[in-house]
Amino acid sequence: MSFSLPETFAKLPRYPLLYPYPSPIHPLPALTRHLNHNPRSAPAVSLFAKREDHSSPLACAGNKYRKLEYIVPDILSNSSLHGPGERSEAKATTTLVTEGAIQSNHTVQVASVARRLGLEAIVILHKATGGGLTASSDKDVFLRTGNVQIARLLGAEVRMLEDSSTVDNSDPITPILEGLRAQGKVPYWIPSGASLHPLGGLGYARCAFEIAAQEKEQLGENGRFDYVFVACGSGSTVGGLIAGFKLLQKIEAQRQDENAERVIGRKVIGILNSPTKPREYHEGRVLNFARRAAYLIGLDPERDVTPEDVQLDDRFAGTAYGELDQTSKKTLAFLAQEEGVIVDPVYTVKVMRGVMHWVQVGELIRDWSRRLESSPSEGRVNALFIHTGGQSALSAYADIE
């Protein structure tokens, strides 16, 4: 399946890390039947999954590979525009450096990309990020299995820090980068989740076009996914999708000779996975990421992407990032036993809790009615759950049965 991008977007350099075909979309029939418990209610909601965990041949496929496709050309450029610090002379990158929580999926995918590019990888893991380690019944297992084990198998140097921080003049990351430079190496810093990287949202802006191309195959000529549910951690996956779908909405409006605001677009709902920061903080970040991606792909970021385009739900974040509560355990087991689909314990299990709630209590249909400015009496509403991967962390959660 092929799809085309507008000229401005298509010209942006991208290094292929994914399979040469879209990650699959498939229906979730058991979940659809379970949640549409009243057959007389209309419209019914049909649920589908887009399997980003099947998107790449590289280790532990997941959403970060899409982001990294647009970052790799900058990594390979001897005069990088977006790497850390200024270079006095053009030198090729030798080492990818990134950070995350102990069971970070992002760090594994960066380490795998380093292997593909023939580079070294240093993975910095923060013990204090989230509650996964604190809540673990076997902390030794949590610190050496799952994604930690895989990062080491990939040849990454894993460094564990006691505190949690981001790069600034006083944190522990800057001395690590300076130490590498003192050894004659050329490090390239990739922020956690790749979201703070200027190119971090482009991969999922492109994914929006991929989803649109798959709609005809799954839903027929005029079908579309009315809602897209996805995890919101660092934020650029959500921001990129918003930018991509806004560009699609504008293109569709031009084809229909309509004002873009009159065309009902696909609605992205980000499910937050951490209660550490308030929802408003994440909304501001996602809006910034969406506008940054929008500018790069040819939109007017201020006019075409508005705060109303950002909808985040913080009701399923639980008590801490990375901590698996009883409700999430039940959701994980339900999806495994009813659909044969395994979600991860940090991100996608919370997204699935959100999807189930939105459908089961009627929130999705009420929202759809508001968007139509009328009460829908027939037809179906199509909702897409984006599975961003992460199952490789499951072995670290020793108390899951």
pLDDT at 376 over 80: no
At position 126, the amino acid (one-letter code) is H
pLDDT at 130 over 90: no
The burial class, CB within 10 Å (0-12 / 13-18 / 19+), for 65 is buried
Q: Residue 340: helix, strand or coil by DSSP?
A: coil
- Tokens (6 digits) for 76: 């390979």
- Please indicate whether residue 40 or residue 151 has the higher confidence score (pLDDT): 151
Nearest by Cα to 385 from 315, 338, 335 = 335
The string over 383-394, giving b where at least 16 C-beta atoms fall within 10 Å of a residue's C-beta and e elsewhere, is: bbbbbbbbbbbb
- Please indicate whether residue 340 or residue 79 has the higher confidence score (pLDDT): 340
Nearest by Cα to 53 from 399, 398, 393 = 393
Nearest by Cα to 99 from 182, 143, 163 = 163
CA 306 to chain centre: 20
Note the pLDDT of residue 375. Answer: 60
104 has catalytic annotation: yes
Q: Render pLDDT for 247-293 as a digit per residue (tens, 0 to 9).
A: 999 998 888 876 666 678 899 999 999 999 999 999 999 999 999 99
Q: Write out the E strands in 154-310.
A: 157-161, 187-190, 227-232, 267-272
Nearest by Cα to 96 from 79, 116, 67, 120 = 120
Q: Render pLDDT for 180-228 as a digit per residue (tens, 0 to 9).
A: 999 999 999 999 999 999 999 999 999 999 999 999 889 988 899 999 9
Q: Render pLDDT for 62-90 as a digit per residue (tens, 0 to 9).
A: 999 999 999 999 999 965 555 555 444 56
pTM: 0.94
Note the pLDDT of residue 400. Answer: 76
- Please indicate whether residue 11 or residue 40 has the higher confidence score (pLDDT): 11
| Residue 71 to residue 59: CA distance in whole angstroms | 18
- Res. 53 pLDDT band, cuts 50 70 90: very high
Note the pLDDT of residue 167. Answer: 47
Angle, CA 82 vertex, CA 78 and CA 83 arms, to 5°: 65
Mean pLDDT of 295-302: 98
HSE, CB side, 13 Å, CA atoms: give it for residue 35. Answer: 30
Nearest by Cα to 351 from 384, 306, 375, 305 = 384
- Res. 169 pLDDT band, cuts 50 70 90: very low
All structural domains of the chain, each given as residue ranges with its CATH number in brackets, are 7-60+198-396 (3.40.50.1100), 63-190 (3.40.50.1100)
User: What backbone torsions phi and psi does residue 75 show, to the nearest 5 degrees?
Assistant: -60, -40
User: What backbone torsions phi and psi does residue 141 show, to the nearest 5 degrees?
Assistant: -65, -45
To the nearest 10°, report the CA torsion of 11, 75, 21, 28: -110
- The residues facing 158 across adjacent strands are 123
Tokens 């990020």 locate to 129
Active-site option among 46, 104, 112, 195: 104
Note the pLDDT of residue 280. Answer: 97
pLDDT at 310 over 70: yes
pLDDT at 159 over 60: yes
User: Do residues 114 and 156 make contact, with C-beta atoms less than 8 angstroms apart?
Assistant: yes
- Going 282 to 286 to 292 to 293, the CA torsion angle's sign is positive
User: Do residues 10 and 314 make contact, with C-beta atoms less than 8 angstroms apart?
Assistant: no
- Tokens (6 digits) for 49: 């999954």
pLDDT at 102 over 90: yes
Q: Render pLDDT for 5-15 as a digit per residue (tens, 0 to 9).
A: 999 999 999 99
pLDDT at 127 over 50: yes
Note the pLDDT of residue 87. Answer: 47
Q: Where is 175: in which H helix or E strand?
A: helix 173-182
